[in-house]
Structure 1
Amino acid sequence: MEITEVRVFPVQEEKLKAFVSIIFDDCFVVSDIKIIQGNNGMFISMPSKKRKNGTFRDIAHPLNNETRRKIEEKVLAKYREVLQQDRPAPEPGDRPETQESDSTTDSFPV
């Protein structure tokens, strides 16, 4: 089974970065995947349902770590691509932001 399409829908929340739908073999979709910013970087959270006891149970999920890794890699790559597309093009004469340590000019007292 191959991922044939990834659709990313960014959101403006602190830890939740986007909702995602992935399509397998152009014939099966899994929606409501979340991209979460965790303490150790971004990760995906598979669609889940809240149970009566307050816990969550995945509705759909990979059965092994290799499949989870492949899905996560494709989803996060597409998310980064979408973020790049959403950035405004630089205006003529704009210079990229640099940190002080990146500066190539020295300051001398006059």
Structure 2
Amino acid sequence: MQITKTEFRKYDKGGNIKGFCRVVFDDCFAIETRLIQGKNGVFVAFPDHRNKEGKYSQQAYPTTKEIRSAIIDAVLKAYKEA
């Protein structure tokens, strides 16, 4: 699976969220990530969902270090170019 497109949208309404990035794989599957300013710099947050008990669970996430690194690198590159 290859990353074929990234679309970054800045979020200028304050808070820790820097923006949202759609990452497209093989021109046929996409996930929406968030870029968040943390204490130690920015990080990529993958899609999650809060259940009835208020706990979060991830909805989509990379299963290998290689694809995680590729996604993070693509999102950070799109952020810097935006």
TM-score (norm 2): 0.92
| 1:59 corresponds to 2:63 | no
State the distance in 1 between where 2:71 and 2:35 align. 12
User: Deviation at 1:4?
Assistant: 0.4
Aligned to 1:78: 78
| 1:3 corresponds to 2:3 | yes
Aligned partner of 1:25: which letter?
A: D
**Which consecutive residues of structure 2, in runs of 5 or more, have no partner in the other structure?**
none
Aligned to 2:25: 24
Aligned to 1:14: 15
- Measured on the aligned residues, the alpha-carbon RMSD in Å equals 0.9
Structure showing the higher strand proportion among its residues? 2
Report how many residues are paired. 81
User: Deviation at 1:47?
Assistant: 0.7
1:68 alignment partner, SS class: helix
Aligned to 1:46: 46
TM-score (norm 1): 0.70
Cα deviation 1:5-25 (Å, max 9, x = unaligned): 001111012210001111001
Percent same amino acid among aligned pairs?
35
State the distance in 1 between where 2:41 and 2:28 align. 31
**Post-superposition, which runs of at least 4 consecutive aligned residues in structure 1 deviate over 4 A?**
none
State the distance in 1 between where 2:25 and 2:38 align. 27
Aligned partner of 2:65: which letter?
A: N
Aligned to 1:34: 34
2:37 alignment partner, SS class: strand
State the distance in 2 between where 1:14 and 1:54 align. 21
**Which consecutive residues of structure 1, in runs of 5 or more, have no partner in the other structure?**
83-110
Task: Find the structure with the greater CA-based Rg.
Answer: 1
User: Deviation at 1:62?
Assistant: 0.2
State the distance in 1 between where 2:53 and 2:69 align. 30
